């Protein structure tokens, strides 16, 4: 397996002005233009179990640390970041496992945490990262490790699933949704990897509540809200319902309430472009022509989910 980083990390900075670079550790740098904004990074500090403020993306930071410590194994959120998980990883600590380390080393802005942990051979993959051969726990094991941190509330972020669901449970389902959707991790693999790592009863509830078709953590939140709304009114809720007009696919509703014919969609930031706004407008017109009511939620309007849907029935 070869892991290709989205942005190049640099072992030698001689050809670049230092002010254009962000240091990852003692050996590697990356371009500041490829880093998230400081405001975004500081908004994510609650993700870090040790409250370290990072200014570089989790994937590049993890790559720099494991390529600098090839005797170690990359674990948890750092492994998920390096595998390409697009959500919930920036701001988390990079944790390396080394069975020979004498004591736990805490993380810093330019250094990983190092812990003493052993793995079975089947739980670790040797992969090519850049020009190095490195060891990384499998995606399923990394997910189980991340879920443990979430359950212990050592890693948190803002999450809302309605009054009936606690935020920790929502975060766990958001993570499982994302690894199933973007890393193609099988739910049964997560259950097996969770053995002796995560409470089995809790993990089974998380898996049962998860889905492999959610495109974003906010879409997961919206599903929690929709499940409660549908149960209250006795409606049938369907995920990823395709809508056709004159035998042509118009769109796929993220969620659909069948009886009132309400199609629900979550619009991320990419829906702000002019071309996408025009496309969305045409979708809404075609949906109305097919006697569906299209409802779009955004980050700012999702908290009013129940209020807005109640007004439509």
Last residue of a domain, one of 212, 245, 271: 212
Specify whether 85 is located in the same domain as 176: no
Specify whether 113 is located in the same domain as 29: yes
Report the pLDDT value the prediction gives residue 280, as an integer from 0 to 100: 83
Report the pLDDT value the prediction gives residue 102, as an integer from 0 to 100: 86
Specify whether 128 is located in the same domain as 170: no
Last residue of a domain, one of 212, 239, 262: 212
Contact 68, 28 (CB under 8 A): yes
Specify whether 132 is located in the same domain as 26: yes
Report the pLDDT value the prediction gives residue 150, as an integer from 0 to 100: 96
Domain that holds residue 299: 217-310
Specify whether 25 is located in the same domain as 128: yes
Q: How many other C-beta atoms lie within 10 A of the C-beta of residue 57?
A: 23
Profile the chain (313 residues) by mean pLDDT over runs of 10 residues: 72 83 92 78 65 88 95 97 93 94 91 94 92 93 97 90 90 97 97 96 97 93 96 95 91 95 86 76 91 92 93 90
Report the pLDDT value the prediction gives residue 53, as an integer from 0 to 100: 85
Q: How far apart are CA 156 and CA 168, in angstroms?
A: 8
State the CATH number of the domain containing residue 275. Answer: 3.40.960.10
Last residue of a domain, one of 185, 212, 239: 212
Report the pLDDT value the prediction gives residue 42, as an integer from 0 to 100: 61
Report the pLDDT value the prediction gives residue 252, as an integer from 0 to 100: 92
Specify whether 285 is located in the same domain as 252: yes
pTM of the model: 0.91
- Helices marked H in the chain — which ranges? 38-43, 58-68, 76-83, 139-151, 167-182, 187-193, 200-209, 217-233, 274-289, 305-310
Q: At a CB cut-off of 8 Å and minimum separation 6, what does 68 contact?
A: 25, 26, 27, 28
Query: How many domains does the structure of the chain reveal?
Result: 3
Specify whether 244 is located in the same domain as 150: no
Specify whether 132 is located in the same domain as 1: yes
Specify whether 131 is located in the same domain as 142: no
Specify whether 93 is located in the same domain as 176: no
Q: How far is CA 130 from the centre of its chain?
A: 23
């Amino acid at each position: 397996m070869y892991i290709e980083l989205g942005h190049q990390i640099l072992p030698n900075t001689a050809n670049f002005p230092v002010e254009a670079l962000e240091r990852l550790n003692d050996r590697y740098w990356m371009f500041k233009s490829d880093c998230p904004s400081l405001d975004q990074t500081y908004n994510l500090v609650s993700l870090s179990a040790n409250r370290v403020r990072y200014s570089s993306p989790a994937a590049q930071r993890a790559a720099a640390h494991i390529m600098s410590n090839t005797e170690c194994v990359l674990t948890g959120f750092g492994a998920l970041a390096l595998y390409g998980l697009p959500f919930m990883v920036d701001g988390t600590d990079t944790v390396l496992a080394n069975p020979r380390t004498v004591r736990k080393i805490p993380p810093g802005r330019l250094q990983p945490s190092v812990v003493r942990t052993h793995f079975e051979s089947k739980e670790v993959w040797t992969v090519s990262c850049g020009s190095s051969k490195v060891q990384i726990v499998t995606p399923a094991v990394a997910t189980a490790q991340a879920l443990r941190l979430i359950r212990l509330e050592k890693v948190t972020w803002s999450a809302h699933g309605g009054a009936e669901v606690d935020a920790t449970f929502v975060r766990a389902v958001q993570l499982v949704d994302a690894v199933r959707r973007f890393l193609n991790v099988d739910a049964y693999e997560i259950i097996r990897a969770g053995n002796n790592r995560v409470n089995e009863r809790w993990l089974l509830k998380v898996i049962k509540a998860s889905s492999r078709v959610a495109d974003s953590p906010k879409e997961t939140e919206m599903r929690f809200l929709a499940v409660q709304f549908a149960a209250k009114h006795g409606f049938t809720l369907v995920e990823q319902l395709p809508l056709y007009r004159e035998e042509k696919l118009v769109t796929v509703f993220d969620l659909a309430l069948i009886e009132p014919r309400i199609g629900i969609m979550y619009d991320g930031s990419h829906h702000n472009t002019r071309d996408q706004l025009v496309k969305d407008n045409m979708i809404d017109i075609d949906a109305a022509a097919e006697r569906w009511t299209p409802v779009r939620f955004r980050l700012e309007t999702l908290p009013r989910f129940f209020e807005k849907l109640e007004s439509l029935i």
